[in-house]
Amino acid sequence: MNAEMGEWVKYLILASSLAVLVISFGIGVWAQKKVTSPEAFFGGAKIFGPLTVGLATMAAVGSAFAVVGVPGLVYSTGNTILLFMFAAPGFVFGYLVIGKKVRAMAEIGTVASLGDLADLRFNGHRGIKLILSLMLFIGCAMYLSAQVEACAKLFENLFEWNKLVISVVIFAILIAYTVLSGEIGGILTQAFQGFVIVLAGLIFTVAFFTVTGGFEPVLAAISDSRGGAADLDPAAMTAWGSLPGVYAFAWVMLPTLGIMCQPQVLTRIMMLRNPRELPKLSLYAVSTNVITGMMVMAIGYCAIFLAANGLVEIDHPDKAVFKVADYLGLVAQLFVYPAVLAAALSTSSLFLSLAGNIVSRDLPGSFGITIDPVRQVTVSRIAMSVMGIAAIGFASASGDMVAILGTYGFGTLAAATFPIFIIGLLWKGATSRGVMTGMLAALLATVSGVTVELLNRFGHTDFAWPGGVPWYVFVMATAILVSIAASLLTTRDLLDRRVEMAMDL
């Protein structure tokens, strides 16, 4: 328990954090009346403007991975992770490259899930839909676990409450409003949560320069530090940080290529009211992501500065954001703690909805099973509940850093979607059999990668990936290379004329 923080301060912070949860619940309940069809529940309602979609996209992409995990990595590894901030321009790149194509595909037929989009492009190929469903489900589990872990860290820092109890309470409320309103409520609550994150980002960025005086004093504090700063590695402030340069390269490549095919981005494009508003959506998504990026960088550097001067003690990287907020005082705490909860809630609701879509629509469809649309909603709600419970269990068992869990999920999702929605929409020569082969290779690589990481973590092996490159980079590379090579060796598909027109945009 933080002895320096008065009990009344803790409960005031708790109240501000729970206010985000209560308002989100209220929005979700209110949004239920906008769910006028099963398609709207699953994400087929094109009714939102660019500001709402932009805030929702930023919040869902950023997540607790950014707000908790990235400051922890800045504190522990220095500049290695900062190149991940190229994710902000990645939004523009994504909208320019495939934005119009995805939005046009949503006009061709009923598109309420990523499986529906894959069906249009690859003529209802069941194998592609099956593997896409399985890989998205794995990615959902990893990403959701990162959010559970972040929520637990938040309340654990305040009260040292039991992590499992905290996770169950928070996710029970989240599941409740998500199952009521589906993706309609999801995008509205995410827009509100995105606003909370942006507000905290503006406040904290100003606070960083006020407290430290800028980046020069941060560097000076590390170079002159003694005693309490013994655990800080001066190499962290070099160009690559304290990790091998290949990690910095991986964290440049992963967001720039991965952002544009993340489910958080693809599904939001399909929710946009008017395709002509894509440029505005791009502007809002990028600007809000830049503010969030500035915040997480500032928190990480501030943590280094305070630890180097012996002003705070940080025993775990994931606690960096909370220790810095506690040092800065009540104003920072009243915004940073709610921002962490908002980030976790926004991503969790999206991936719960995605998991529900997979179980009720995409996975049965891959086996040729058609479920009545109304019954799909019921199945989806059950699946969301089960997925939320599973994520709590996985996070409790893994005990991993928020950033690492989030990165695993991000890489897996990128490997699942890149062959279908980037290669597939940009290249008419991408065949269903070729992409199917690439997806199968990616699935096997993902399972192998996760298995090796778990064996390493529990001390059963000490396997090192070639060149020190993170395993999920190999998964993504495998998916891309095999998809292209196999497509070149197979016969081109006969595409619907409307699909060809959408791809030509």
- C-alpha dihedral over 499, 501, 503, 505, to 10 degrees? -150
Q: What is the mean pLDDT of residues 248-268?
A: 80
- Cβ 248 vs Cβ 242: under 8 Å: no
* CA-to-CA separations, 429 to 88, 125, 433, 503, in angstroms, rounded: 30, 16, 11, 12
CA angle 372, 374, 375 (to 5 degrees): 65
pLDDT at residue 87, as a whole number: 64
Burial of 497 from C-beta contacts in 10 A (0-12 / 13-18 / 19+): exposed
Whether residue 43 lies inside any domain: the answer is no
d(CA 62, CA 440) in angstroms, rounded, equals: 28
Domain count along the chain: 1
Residue 45 lies in a domain: no
Is it the case that residue 5 has pLDDT exceeding 70?
Answer: no
Q: What is the pTM of this model?
A: 0.87
Residue 498 CA to its chain's centroid (Å): 32
As a whole number of angstroms, the distance between CA 248 and CA 239 comes to 9
Tokens of 159: 């009260």
> For the domain that residue 151 is a member of, what is the CATH number?
1.20.1730.10
pLDDT in tens, 422-440: 999 999 999 999 999 999 9
Q: Which of 58-67, 328-337, 357-366, 397-406 has the lowest mean pLDDT?
A: 397-406
pLDDT, tens only, 445-495: 888 887 887 787 777 777 878 877 778 788 888 999 999 999 999 999 999
Task: Between 419 and 404, name the one with better pLDDT.
Answer: 419
Question: How high is the pLDDT of residue 53?
Answer: 92
Residue 395's pLDDT band (boundaries 50, 70, 90)?
low
Collapsing DSSP to helix, strand or coil, 431 comes out as coil
CB burial of residue 300 (10 Å; 0-12, 13-18, 19+) = buried
Q: Is the pLDDT of residue 147 over 80?
A: no
Q: Confirm whether 35 is domain-assigned.
A: no
3-state secondary structure of 273: coil
3-state secondary structure of 262: coil
User: Would 204 be classed as within a structural domain?
Assistant: yes
**Rounded mean pLDDT of the chain?**
83
Could you tell me the pLDDT band of residue 399, with boundaries at 50, 70 and 90?
low
pLDDT, tens digit, 9 for 90 and up, residues 229-251: 445 677 777 777 777 777 777 77
Backbone angles phi, psi at 355, to 5 degrees: -65, -40
**pLDDT band per the 50, 70, 90 thresholds, residue 85:** low
127 pLDDT band (50/70/90 cuts)?
Answer: very high
Give me the mean pLDDT over the 240-266 stretch: 79
Rounded CA Rg of the chain: 22
Domain span at 17: 7-28+51-363+372-503
What single string gives the DSSP state of each residue in 202-251?
HHHHHHHHHHH-SHHHHHHHHHT--GGGTTS-GGGGSTTTTS-HHHHHHH
pLDDT in tens, 192-214: 999 999 999 898 888 888 888 88
Q: In this predicted model, which residue has the larger pLDDT, 6 or 292?
A: 292
Look at residue 230 in the predicted model and tell me its pLDDT.
Answer: 46
**Percentage, residues of the chain above pLDDT 90:** 19
Q: How confident is the model at residue 3 (pLDDT cuts 50, 70, 90)?
A: very low
Residue 281 lies in a domain: yes
Residue 244 counted as domain residue:
yes
| Domain presence at residue 41 | no
Kindly indicate the confidence band of residue 301, based on its pLDDT and cuts at 50, 70 and 90.
confident
Q: Are 75 and 317 in contact (CB under 8 A)?
A: yes
**Residue 472 near residue 415 (C-beta atoms within 8 A):** yes
Whether 400 maps to a domain, the answer reads yes
